[in-house]
Amino acid sequence: SRVRSRSRAPSTRASLAPTPIVVDVPRSGAKSPLIIEVPARPRSRSVGRNGALMDAPGLSGGRGMFKRLIVACDGTWNNSDDGMKNGSLAIPSNITRISRAIKAVSQDGIPQIVNYHQGLGTEGGPLSRFIGGTTGKGLADDVREAYSFLANNYHPGDEILLLGFSRGAFTARSIAGLIGQVGLLTKKGLNTLPEVYEDVQNRRNPDYRPKHTDLPFPRKPSADDPRYAEELERRGLTRLDIPIKAIGVWDTVGSLGIPRIGFLQRAGLQMKQSRATAFYDTKLSNCVENAFQALALDENRPSFSPAVWEKPEGNRTTLRQVWFPGAHTNVGGGYDDMQLANITLAWMMSQLEPFLDMRDEYLFEQDELNEKYYKKEEGRVRPWSFGKVYSEVKGAMALGGTALRRPGHYTAVDPYNGRSTDRPLRQTNEYIHPSVRTRHRLQGPGVLDRGTYDCRALTDNYKLIVDYGPGNQKSG
């Protein structure tokens, strides 16, 4: 069959949504089959602290003035304000691009306020950037800053959305966990944010002794105790049951948001920082209505193992995690060839469409820019899904070897020490994007354009089956 001559998919609304592809584990495998079905439509409801289902604000402006607060956290070493790099403009990540696609005011008059945070490791000299990007330094400041923005600007009825890539994805998920734990502090309560933050940070530490025993209030229990948040609310220091409309992230890496690099661990740099960031809760909180994650199938650095979401028992969040062709930055954006990043951007925008008003034409503008790049650098436009798959297994990153990613086979992580356990993750709602099958079946280019695409993360462990309905499954 012929492939489209342009890199643009036929429709960002239909063709880029996950189709019903079934990934079936061979009978000899120890794992149960991973069935990939058509996901449900994103919901617009959330669950309160008592488990009751709450109706969230709708999209129309009929109930009076409100606003949307969008926190966008960029990835490690990503900064939309970098300007020129090596004589050319810095290539923006998908966080930068989706931030620019969001309208300042929706067509029905709702203000949409984007609070952009540059990635860690973007300031200082080369050594400072490296340390900032490979340790937990600066992560706590990022979480507190973004949380303070929401606490200062939130008014009942406002809608909160969180976006992130790489470690910025971890930051976004951590903000959601903090809101789920203690709500959003009031302006009065923000005076005690350092103490509240420290209490939450150490809520699982049996040896923790707070520096200020009477702040935010005397005789305080552990922040893990529901009475902690309830007393904050009683004193007018916080607002509980704050719904988060949606979280959209690209390829969260590391069990604690930090790529694990062997020689830094042996030097003791990462272990110290991981203890300082171990408190962050990356499980789905009941306050999150919708959660979407784009994951990279072809990232093979062990230090960049993905942090896959898991729905706890009884959680009613609409969760969708979709695997795409490409390495970490292919999925999150930042390489010269942005075709694969354009596909994940279009997918994420389609997931967020019910909750945000964005410029659809922005996607086509980005696609046209990439076509110009192809014509200049290669003399022809690559077919859809055939964008270059890059590899970052070089330099310090090569010291750790390689490891295939394992869709559907990840296990839970101990939130205190960051180590994997033997318990398989359940209710992860993982899907395979159609671009994977297109590239594989039409023998698209392999990693670094060498050979043909084999997608070993899937082909080493799975058999691909396309489900066209009852009795119409075809092997791939």
Tell me: the pLDDT tens digits for 132-161? Answer: 445 556 788 889 999 999 999 999 999 999
Share of the chain above pLDDT 90, in %: 57
Statement: residue 393 has pLDDT above 90: no
Choose among 68, 70, 47, 48: nearest CA to 58.
68
User: What pLDDT band is residue 469 in, cutting at 50, 70 and 90?
Assistant: low
Tokens standing for residue 247: 């979280």
Domain ranges, ordered by start, for the chain: 21-183+241-475
The amino acid at residue 443 is Q
Distance CA 213, CA 465 (A): 59
Choose among 314, 353, 287, 310: nearest CA to 41.
353
Distance CA 326, CA 161 (A): 26
| Helical packing angle, 139-153 and 269-277, nearest 10° | 20
Choose among 242, 234, 222, 261: nearest CA to 398.
261
Q: Mention every residue, 6+ apart, whose C-beta is less than 8 A from residue 126.
A: none
Distance CA 34, CA 25 (A): 7
- What was the pLDDT predicted at 419? 72
- From the CB of residue 268, how many other CB atoms can be counted at a distance below 10 Å? 9
> Alpha carbon of 298 to those of 33, 94, 338, 392: distances in Å?
21, 18, 16, 11
The pLDDT mean for the chain works out to: 80
Distance CA 140, CA 148 (A): 12
> Alpha carbon of 269 to those of 266, 275, 276, 396: distances in Å?
8, 11, 11, 15
- What was the pLDDT predicted at 318? 97
What are the phi and psi torsion angles at 434 (to 5°)? -55, -25
> How far is Cα of residue 5 from the mean position of the Cα atoms in its chain?
31
Using DSSP's 3-state secondary structure scheme, residue 168 falls into: helix
Going by DSSP bridges, is the β-strand pair 84-85/45-47 parallel, antiparallel, or unpaired?
unpaired
- What was the pLDDT predicted at 179? 96
Going by DSSP bridges, is the β-strand pair 473-475/463-467 parallel, antiparallel, or unpaired?
antiparallel
Beta bridge partners of 309: none
Over residues 314-373, the pLDDT tens digits come to 999 999 999 999 999 999 999 999 999 999 999 999 999 999 999 999 999 999 999 999
Share of the chain above pLDDT 70, in %: 68
Distance CA 224, CA 323 (A): 34
> Which of the listed ranges 10-14, 116-120, 146-150, 298-302 does the model predict with the highest average pLDDT?
146-150
Buried b (16+ CB within 10 A) or exposed e, 279-294: bbbbbbbbbbbbbbbb
Distance CA 268, CA 265 (A): 5
Statement: residue 111 has pLDDT above 50: yes
Using DSSP's 3-state secondary structure scheme, residue 84 falls into: strand
Statement: residue 182 has pLDDT above 50: yes
Homologous superfamily of 21-183+241-475: Alpha/Beta hydrolase fold, catalytic domain (3.40.50.1820)
Beta bridge partners of 251: none
Over residues 195-215, the pLDDT tens digits come to 999 999 888 888 899 999 999
Q: Mention every residue, 6+ apart, whose C-beta is less than 8 A from residue 251.
A: 165, 166, 169, 293, 294, 295, 296, 299, 306, 328, 331, 332
DSSP conformation letters of 210-254: -S-TTSSSTT---TTSHHHHHHHHHTTSEE----B-EEEEE--BS
User: What pLDDT band is residue 459 in, cutting at 50, 70 and 90?
Assistant: confident
Query: Cβ(445)–Cβ(389) under 8 Å?
Result: yes
Statement: residue 232 has pLDDT above 90: yes
Query: Cβ(342)–Cβ(363) under 8 Å?
Result: yes
Statement: residue 42 has pLDDT above 70: no
> Alpha carbon of 329 to those of 20, 158, 251, 336: distances in Å?
26, 32, 9, 10
Statement: residue 26 has pLDDT above 90: no
